Structure formats: C-alpha cells, structure tokens
Amino acid sequence: MPHHHRPTTIAILGADTVVENAIALLLESAGYDTKVLEDPSASAANAEEQLVGVDLLLLTPSLREETQEAFLKAIEAAPAAAGVPVLTLSTAPQDELNDRTGMVPWPTPLEDLTRAIEAALVSAPSGEPGGADRLPSRPAEYGGDAARECA
C-alpha cells in the first residue's frame, strides 16, 4: 500500500551531538524522521538550506542562548523557513515555562514530547511556504475521486 504522506521530519539543533543523537533516536522510535543540524551558523541562506523538507525545528538545552537567537533570527529572514514551527527543550523549572509558547520541559517523557510536537504542527500556519504543500493533499485521500469510484 503506497504511503500518501511522508513522515514528519524534525530538525534537531544543539551544541552537544550526544544529546542531539539521543533525541533523534527517541523521535525515530516514535515514527518521526530526524535531521541533526551540524552547523547552527547564523546566515539566513544556511538556515534555509538546513530546513529544506523539515516540518519542525527542535532546539536542545545544550544550545547557547546567543546561538539559538541568531539561528531563529536567520530563520525569520528566510522565507521558506518562516513557516517552520520551533520547539525549545528547556531545563528551566516547569512553572517558568507554563506561559511560554514552544517551550517543552526537559527531560520529558516521549509521549509528552510527541504531544507537544503534534500540537506545534497543527498550529503551524498552513498558508506559509513551509506547510502549504502538505495540507491540501489530505482531503483527496479521504474522499474525492477514490470515494466516488467505490460507491
């Protein structure tokens, strides 16, 4: 049976490859594709290039705040990357994170992380270049021509 939609691809950006690879393995076990970003350099072209085909960007706690901010600014400057939702794993106390969008306490159980990922993907603006190619293809799968042929 052919797959109609590709797995969600999550880019992981951090400063400690052991942590990134561990998170990648965790997410892959939950059925996601992952891409560990090697170089969090701050140029917009580079950020855009690294996020090609990526559905969500996950920032790990090992990332220095300056590096994180520079990469996020670069993403904002890159039109193709602008629609990619960003989640940040944070070791800050839970009560500090409650009102901050896109912050996920770390460490966290895998099911909580996948719930946060799915919520971020659902709330991502589908009109943006990043998400536009995925959403419109769904209704045809569940109705459209195929349903009429079966009737």
Q: What is the pLDDT of residues 69-82, one digit of tens each?
A: 888 888 888 777 77
Q: Give, in order, the Cα–Cα distances in Å from 39 to each of 26, 34, 65, 74, 94.
A: 21, 15, 15, 13, 29
Please tell me the predicted confidence (pLDDT) of residue 66.
Answer: 86
Please tell me the predicted confidence (pLDDT) of residue 58.
Answer: 95
Instruction: Give the integer Cα–Cα distance in Å for 104 and 107.
Output: 9
Residue 4 vs residue 123, higher pLDDT: 123
Q: Give, in order, the Cα–Cα distances in Å from 18 to each of 21, 30, 147.
A: 5, 19, 47
What are the beta bridge partners of residue 9? 33
Closest CA to 86 of 108, 96, 101, 64: 101
Give residue 137's pLDDT band: very low, low, confident or very high (50, 70, 90). very low
Count Cα atoms within 13 angstroms, Cβ side, for 141.
Answer: 10
Please tell me the predicted confidence (pLDDT) of residue 32.
Answer: 97
Euclidean distance between the first and final Cα of the chain, in Å? 21
Segments making up each domain of the chain, as ranges: 9-150
Decide if pLDDT at 142 tops 80: no
Q: What is the CATH T-level fold of the domain 9-150, as seen in this structure?
A: Rossmann fold (3.40.50)
Please state the pTM of the whole predicted model.
0.74
Share of the chain above pLDDT 70, in %: 74
